[in-house]
Amino acid sequence: MLVVMQEGATEQQTENVIQRLVEMGFTVHRSTGVRHTVLGGVGPIDDFDPAALEVMEGVKECHRIVSPYKLASRHFKPAGTVLKIGSVEIGGPAVVMMAGPCSVENVDQMEQIARLIAEAGARIIRGGAFKPRSSPYSFQGMGEEGLRIMRAAADRNNLLVVSEVMDQVQIPLLLKYSDILQVGARNMQNFNLLRELGKVRKPILLKRGIAATIEELLLSAEYIMSGGNYEVMLCERGIRTFETSTRNTMDIAAIPVLKRLSHLPVIADPSHGTGKRDYVVPMARAALAAGADGLLVEVHPDPDHAISDGAQTLRPDQFQELMKQAATIAMAIGRRI
Ligand code: PEP
Ligand code: MN
């Protein structure tokens, strides 16, 4: 249920509508736009008459939302969401570059990468300290020590940090060191984790599961948002298909589809999307051209010796080239880096 308030509706009128929605059994989520306040009523109630709300003072219009996700739906915020994190805006005119190694390995590696990406124009450093590895015998990440190393390197280079949270118990640590909490593909439907992330007040980068539909991705975003955390961005990182030439099949079409269905910023990860470093730059270009609000890419000072995901990790020179090409693409579609 969506109630759009008139331009200039008073706070009292809005409060009255909220009160009425609550009486009807809805949980109310409020979105304040430039012109209109939109009230999203979420609840199991189906048999109500929208006319009862439409006649209330200050109400412009009322709609029943038929999609299974409500708060993530574009109807809830037609102008689109721009996340403001420090001085970085995600979802606005600038496309935002997030880059770094798959895993945090040591101080030297992170200091070198932080300097490299900052000088090339990236705003956010990535690096996993808790790694969801397919094999229990593979490197599992440096944990808190890794987060500390990445935070220090980021601060020295005026970068924000994004890092993965694998389990609820890790949330306090991530909140301490990271500006954005990443939910990995394997956890996209870890509903307990999503619910806990609904309670935090830091942005979440939600990756698409390896076998998840676009609707399932949006429903997972809805889990987080229905808990009150509206700061969610969606990430296309490739899905598993019958194709074996690439690690995953990068679903570029998901980008415009998500932009149409949802108001949330969309990020593309061509590193996991392809699995091979030579394909990362072309798919990064394609993702930006398709409307991605940002890129998440893996880069390492010496990718052939990276502890994880070396094959899909860019060398520093490839990353610098990517940044140049990204700027060209962004300009061509009326955006900037
Ligand atoms: C990662 O970003 O390093 C990662 C593990 O990604 P995904 O969850 O998409 O596999
Ligand atoms: Mn990786």
Residue-wise pLDDT for 185-229, tens only, equals 999 999 999 999 999 999 999 999 999 999 999 999 999 999 999
Report the alpha-carbon distance of residue 288 to residue 269 in Å, rounded. Answer: 11
Go through the chain and tell me how many residues it has: 337
Domain spanning 2-63, CATH architecture: 2-Layer Sandwich (3.30)
| Residue nearest ligand 1's atom 9 by CA | 185
Q: Is 33 in the pocket of ligand 1 (CB under 6 A)?
A: no
Q: Is 132 in the pocket of ligand 1 (CB under 6 A)?
A: yes
- Element containing residue 84 per DSSP (H, E): strand 83-85
**Residue 299: φ, ψ to 5°:** -145, 145
| Residue nearest ligand 1's atom 1 by CA | 102
Residues 6+ apart with CB under 8 A from 62: 1, 2, 3, 4, 50, 51, 53, 54
Looking at the chain, the domain(s) classified CATH 3.30.70.1140 span 2-63
For residue 72, give the nearest of 162, 198, 238, 253 by alpha carbon.
198
CATH code, 83-332 = 3.20.20.70
For residue 187, give the nearest of 227, 217, 159 by alpha carbon.
217
Q: Is the pTM of this model over 0.85?
A: yes
Compute mean pLDDT per 10 residues along the chain, 337 residues long, and list them: 94 97 93 90 80 94 89 94 97 98 98 98 98 92 98 98 97 98 98 98 98 98 97 98 98 98 98 98 98 98 98 98 98 97
- Per residue in 283-315, pLDDT (tens digit) is 999 999 999 999 999 999 999 999 999 999 999
- Ligand number nearest to the C-alpha of 307: 2
38 CA distance to ligand 1 centroid (A)? 34
Looking at the chain, the domain(s) classified CATH 3.20.20.70 span 83-332
Report the alpha-carbon distance of residue 330 to residue 93 in Å, rounded. Answer: 9
Q: Is 300 in the pocket of ligand 1 (CB under 6 A)?
A: no
Burial status of residue 324 (CB atoms within 10 A of its CB: 0-12, 13-18, 19 or more)? exposed
Report the alpha-carbon distance of residue 194 to residue 178 in Å, rounded. Answer: 17
For residue 102, give the nearest of 184, 178, 179 by alpha carbon.
184
269 CA distance to ligand 1 centroid (A)? 9
Residues 6+ apart with CB under 8 A from 164: 128, 129, 130, 131, 132, 181, 182, 183, 184
Q: Is 208 in the pocket of ligand 1 (CB under 6 A)?
A: no
**Residue 84: φ, ψ to 5°:** -110, 115
- Ligand number nearest to the C-alpha of 271: 2
99 CA distance to ligand 2 centroid (A)? 11
